[in-house]
Amino acid sequence: MKQKQNLKIACTLILFEMLISYNLFAEPSPERKDYPVSVKVFGNSWLANDPMSSDEIITENGIQNWSNPESCIRTYFRIEKTGTIQLAITAHVSGGKSVLKVSFGGQSKEIALKNSEPEIIDLGAFAVERAGYHFLEFKGVSKTGGEFARITDVLIGGDVALGKTWYVKDDFYWGRRGPSVHLNYEIPADAGNIRWFYNEMTIPEGNDVLGSYFMANGFAEGYFGIQVNSATERRILFSVWSPFKTDDPKSIPDDQKIKLLKKGDGVYAGEFGNEGSGGQSYRKYSWKAGVTYRFLLKGEPSENNCTDYSAYFYAPEIGKWELIASFRRPQTSTYLKRLHSFLENFIPEMGAVSRQVIYSNQWVCNTAGKWTELKRAKFTADATARKESRLDYAGGTSTHYFFLKNCGFFSERVPFDTYFERPSAGSQPEIELPE
């Protein structure tokens, strides 16, 4: 009899261990209704330690193929209410067991995952002491399978969920690129027909971020500025849109194509597409942060209802004005209009890195040779900002210049459609205009 009782006890213990092993005694997963906000990982996450590799593990299906213990993944969102935030993730492991370290606002904890199907995993409560952008960070601690975890959503509940939250909900490509911002220069009514547009631009040290286009001299039909194209390549870029509306340059009729008139030494000239189409020119040039470069654009009517545009670049390390290119635009007869500058990020993987640009000393010259200073500008932003997918943008004035800033999930924000005015530079630029 005693042996039977011992056997019964042993069997009970084995069954109990099996139940624990299969997690059948664990608390039931929280319900999604406890978390009214669901942030898609794909549109809102980046690798903090290696942004350009983000697309290797942050996919349209969420985080997957995550096997590197050095990876540091951050999912960003903005909140307006302080208090307690309750966080969870929708996650599972493709095999084995994993331990993750999750951090929020300087507070960290470890969680264990062994579920092979997606479940809502409660991360607990955290304190939020300030409104603005925050991130939930993931690091892999240990795993017995091939991946640390697969994660599709970050869920938000608690006090902060009663206030407004901002994150990228759709158009993930543009949301990951981040908001583009612009300065639209106000031209005095008595400036006349504008033939020349002069601008100076400086990229503060540390802001020459990969994927940035710092555009200095924009006009109604094109744009002129500098880019960071790769770790080893930078460009001076000048483009003019065709009057034919298309994203495919091959579909432009011959009588509406942009014609190259001439180009400078070492300048490539061709066509561009995808964001409108037209003529493009660029020169590879290792411009440097912290140096002020000068930009000069000419635009005036030409023959047969066309307009000619020419772009000149001045680098202080070279010491003279150099031609980038001259283009002729058909079905257009105009002087320079809608003068502006802008800042954009064109690489989605770099959308979590902030950058800034300074614009100083803007002038225009009319057909009579009279110079007029441009001291007032309207700050505007693109659809990504206007639909509140991303709120990490700013612009304004500081001492003698205008500035633009975007990306990086900084919390300060300047309302778009705000007007700014800088102090006068005092004297017109002293340059010999190229003919």
Predicted local distance difference test score (pLDDT) of residue 29: 54
* Cα distance between residue 180 and residue 379, in whole Å: 11
Picking from 7-21, 256-270, 276-290, which range would have the lowest pLDDT averaged per residue? 7-21
Confidence of residue 425 (pLDDT cuts 50, 70, 90): confident
Task: Give the domains, in start order, of the chain with CATH numbers.
Answer: 26-167 (2.60.120.260), 175-421 (2.60.120)
Predicted local distance difference test score (pLDDT) of residue 28: 44
What sign results for the dihedral spanned by CA atoms 151, 152, 158, 164?
positive
Predicted local distance difference test score (pLDDT) of residue 18: 45
Checking 23-27 for CB contacts under 8 A at 24+ apart, the result is: 23/114, 23/115
- The distance of Cα 404 from the centroid of its chain, to the nearest Å, equals 13
Q: What are phi and psi of 131, to 5 degrees?
A: -80, 165
Average predicted confidence (pLDDT) for the chain: 91
pLDDT digits (tens, 9 = 90+) for 94-113: 999 999 999 999 999 999 99
Cβ neighbours of residue 193 closer than 8 Å, sequence gap 6 or more:
335, 366, 367
* Cα distance between residue 335 and residue 419, in whole Å: 25
Helical (H) or strand (E) element with 108: strand 107-113
pLDDT over 80 at 30, yes or no: no
- pTM, whole model, 2 decimals? 0.89
Confidence of residue 246 (pLDDT cuts 50, 70, 90): confident
Q: Rounded mean pLDDT of 386-393? A: 97
pLDDT digits (tens, 9 = 90+) for 193-237: 999 999 999 999 999 999 999 999 999 999 999 999 999 999 999
pLDDT over 60 at 135, yes or no: yes
Predicted local distance difference test score (pLDDT) of residue 354: 98
**220 exposed, middle or buried (CB, 10 Å; 0-12, 13-18, 19+)?**
middle
Write down the residue that tokens 């800042």 correspond to: 343
